[in-house]
Amino acid sequence: MKFRTLLAAMAALGLTLMAPAARAMTIERLVSPAGIEAWLVRESAVPLVVLNYAFAGGSSEDPADKAGLASLATHLLDEGAGNLDSKTFHERLENHAIELGFSSGRDYMHGSLRALNEHRAEAFDLLRLALTAPRFDAADVERVRSQVLSGLRRDTSNPNSIASRRWWATAFPGHPYGRETKGSLDSVPNITVDDLKSYPKRVFARAGLKIAIVGDIDAKTAGELIDHAFASLPAKIEQPRLSPVTPRGLGRRIVIDIDVPQAVVTFGGAGIARSDPDFMAAYIVNHILGGGSFSSRLYREVREKRGLAYGVSDSLVWFKQAAVFIGGTATRADRTGEALAIIEQEIKRMAENGPTAEEVAKAKSYLKSSYALGLDTSGKIASQLVQMQLDNLGIDYIQRRSAMIDAVTLEDAKRVAKRLYSGGLLVTVAGRPKGLASQGE
């Protein structure tokens, strides 16, 4: 009960405290005594500290026959460390109202910490143990592995998972980006305890580590706590380099037969890298086409005008060595072909004609005014600061962002729309859509 009460209080404090901070936020660059760089946002109103960080090395480094290794390893980091078994480790977290989180994506391992100031020394010590001395006890490994396999078995009959998995596997055949980050029913059983123990040694290093810390803490104390958690890690680890890759299968439509009431559609194509000078124009154009939820062309044409789906959207997605735009919808089996035809028509129309001046103006206004919603809690701010570092956007990006959006002209938007949406689509459909068959195989 104490733990739940403290967590509720922490969540409420985080929500109320950061709204003004987001409007006038000062980001400090600090370097710890051990030479580890971090970005700090101070907020002294509430005795709370939030840490987010990222290491290079996600599922893209998993051996092909052991896909899911990074995911399984990160799931186990808080299942005992050092001389603390899983039960004792979790008791320490709960007794001090500490939140530790670990996850892995295709390129990075992400982590987070959240604690009241009175418990921050304990929190950073538990983080240190999790990163430097995870136990990977056999019983815990099998328990968590069983949970992962159970989820993967559910995915085999989930049309959303089926359509998405096939899309990525087709877009990046034989490439790590084409594999499911959680692994597969074939690969996860192959992962041994030794494999899990090797993961931190291959990934956790100070070089390339990105850190953001937000809360009631000064730079000196933050640097000391960062060193306590991270300074004992190796300075550098040699990691394999992926080559740049572009999505394949464009122009194909793949229908996967599965007996479900609705058909799920995943569609997408080649994107634009985050570092590309055209990215901001692509961001605006994509918002107009399908990223703007209730205001997008796809939503208006598919949902509002024809009632073919509850929702439809698309997003820009970027990795270290690839970029795509990808979207999806779900609709009745007998109307899937109609919905897909409209989506393809709108993408073609955007590529050929681009957006209107009014659409660009509205998108710019929305993207500028809504940005603060992603900075209204300490956790969101810390997460955003880490992503800014990973994307090499610069510590002043938040201050420059509105001007970057305003600098995009209508001509830029039209040119980039053609560049982004003229390359063709890869479409996967899971279900039994009437009158819709695979093509281009």
What's residue 242's pLDDT?
A: 87
Question: Coil, helix or strand for 279?
Answer: helix
Beta strand 309-318 with 323-332: parallel, antiparallel or unpaired? antiparallel
CA 186 distance to own-chain centroid: 25
Q: Which amino acid is at 309?
A: A
Q: Are 167 and 114 in contact (CB under 8 A)?
A: no
What's residue 20's pLDDT?
A: 40
What's residue 294's pLDDT?
A: 83
Domains and CATH numbers, the chain: 2-230 (3.30.830.10), 253-431 (3.30.830.10)
Place of tokens 């899911």: 68
Alpha helices in 328-409 (DSSP H): 336-353, 357-369, 378-390, 397-406
Distinct helix (H) and strand (E) counts, the chain: 15, 11
Give the H/E segment covering residue 110.
strand 108-116
Question: Coil, helix or strand for 37?
Answer: strand
Structure-token pair, residue 141: 């490994």
What's residue 2's pLDDT?
A: 43
Give the residue ranges of the chain where pLDDT is below 50.
1-22
Alpha helices in 263-325 (DSSP H): 279-286, 297-298
Structure-token pair, residue 44: 């002294």
Give CA separation, 408 vs 98, 279, 374, 401, in Å: 44, 10, 22, 11
Q: Which residues of 188-202 are buried (b: 16+ CB within 10 A; e: fewer)?
A: beebeeebbeebbeb
What's residue 239's pLDDT?
A: 79
What's residue 19's pLDDT?
A: 39
**Please, how many CA atoms are within 13 Å of residue 17, restricted to the half-sphere of its CB?**
24
Nearest of 360, 353, 330 to residue 421 by alpha carbon: 353
Give CA separation, 334 vs 255, 302, 326, 331, in Å: 14, 15, 23, 8
What's residue 44's pLDDT?
A: 86
Alpha-carbon dihedral 113, 116, 121, 124, rounded to 10 degrees = 0
Residues 6 or more apart whose CB falls under 8 angstroms from that of 412 comprise 278, 281
Give CA separation, 249 vs 170, 175, 231, 347, in Å: 6, 14, 45, 17
In angstroms, the CA 100 to CA 76 distance is 12
Q: Are 43 and 212 in contact (CB under 8 A)?
A: no
In angstroms, the CA 15 to CA 125 distance is 26
Q: What is the pLDDT of residues 15-31, one digit of tens each?
A: 434 434 445 689 999 99
In angstroms, the CA 97 to CA 119 distance is 8
In angstroms, the CA 25 to CA 20 distance is 8
Q: Are 321 and 242 in contact (CB under 8 A)?
A: yes
Q: What is the pTM of this model?
A: 0.92
Taking CA 84 as the corner, what is the angle to CA 83 and CA 90, rounded to the nearest 5 degrees? 165
What's residue 4's pLDDT?
A: 44
Inter-axis angle of helices 357-369 and 397-406, to 10 degrees? 170
CA 427 distance to own-chain centroid: 22
CA 108 distance to own-chain centroid: 9
